Structure 1
Amino acid sequence: MLLTKDRLAAVLGVYMAFVFIQSLFYKFSNSAETQHIFGTLDAWAAGFGAAGLFAPTGLFSQYVIGGAELVASTLILAGTLAGGLRVLQGVGGIFGTAIMTGAIGFHLFTPLGVEVQGDGGTLFIMACGVWLSGVALLVMRRADILAVRLSL
């Protein structure tokens, strides 16, 4: 079985969607791990006058980020399952890359750190894998995305 561009895009897309969807339980159930992550980020933001930014009702709350991850995974899966809508994989890749750019940045440049509560860096490594997958999807689907843009 050859690994064609469409098959590779499907594998990357399923990986991204899996990571995003499995994290929704933690974000939407307000798990202790989620409270730690977003609490740490909110305390960091409070240090420069933006308290509440990552709080449950904040602009970048776990619910907002989880909702964005749900949209990204829905777009990616729709583009994977409906062959004629490959552009959705690319759009989902854009969303996923943007979300993970933020996640990676917060791991690297805030007190959150690469290792979160003794996880050995697992969350950070998964974020990097999703980011790379999103960039790859974007590159693979760039012609589809540009075709929609040009037809508007």
Structure 2
Amino acid sequence: MATIRRYQFVFILYIAFVFIQSLFFKFTNSPETQYIFGTLDVWAAGLGFGGVFAPGGIFSQYVIGSFELIASVALLLSLFPALRLIRPYAALLALGVISGAIFFHLFTPLGVAVQNTDGTSDGGELFALACGVWVSAAFLVALNRDRLPIVGRRAAAA
């Protein structure tokens, strides 16, 4: 565990890489993003929640991308010793965002293998990257749980 704790920067860099490289697609309203969020919006509309994934919706690519950006910046800032305290919170934010992504890949028509703009499948690449982010964020939360007030209070009381 001490070795993993020492190499937390690897998990941080992986999460930041995946989130930041996806921002171009989300913030430019690329065809890939239109397909993904359009598919989710049609699915949500069938449940009576149309528009939540649309460009102006509460779960639009702009909102999700903004949370990914915040999590990435906070994780990268947590590499500075003076800002290490924000690491578990940034990891929790990343874990929450990516849990949503994994849920929508698994339980909606989006699927694990997403269709590319040229009609080919991504072969599950986005899903695999999301799973890697989830595992990395979960490790970061576990490794830094002593910095979370509720966990710290419970540990002190026990």
Structures share a fold, TM > 0.5? Answer: yes
Which of 109, 113, 116 is equivalent to 2:107? 109
Q: Which runs of at least 4 in structure 1 moved beyond 6 Å after TM superposition?
A: none
Secondary structure of 1:112 counterpart: coil
In the TM superposition, what is the alpha-carbon distance from 1:84 to its structure 2 partner? 2.5
Determine if the alignment matches structure 1 residue 145 to structure 2 residue 126. no
Partner of 1:87: 85
- Matched residue, 2:22: 23
- Equivalent residues of 2:44, 2:50 under 8 A apart: yes
Distance between the aligned counterparts of 1:48 and 1:122, measured in 2?
A: 28
Deviation of 1:87 after TM superposition, in Å, equals: 2.1
The CA distance in 2 between the partners of 1:120 and 1:148, in whole Å, is 39
Answering whether residue 76 of structure 2 is matched by residue 77 of structure 1, we say yes
Q: Does 1:126 align with 2:124?
A: no
| Percent identity over paired residues | 52
The one-letter code matched in structure 1 to 2:138 is V
| Other-structure match for 2:12 | 13
Unaligned runs of 5+ residues in structure 2 are: 116-120, 154-158
Aligned residues: 147
Backbone CA RMSD of aligned residues: 1.7
Residue type matched to 1:87 in 2?
A: L
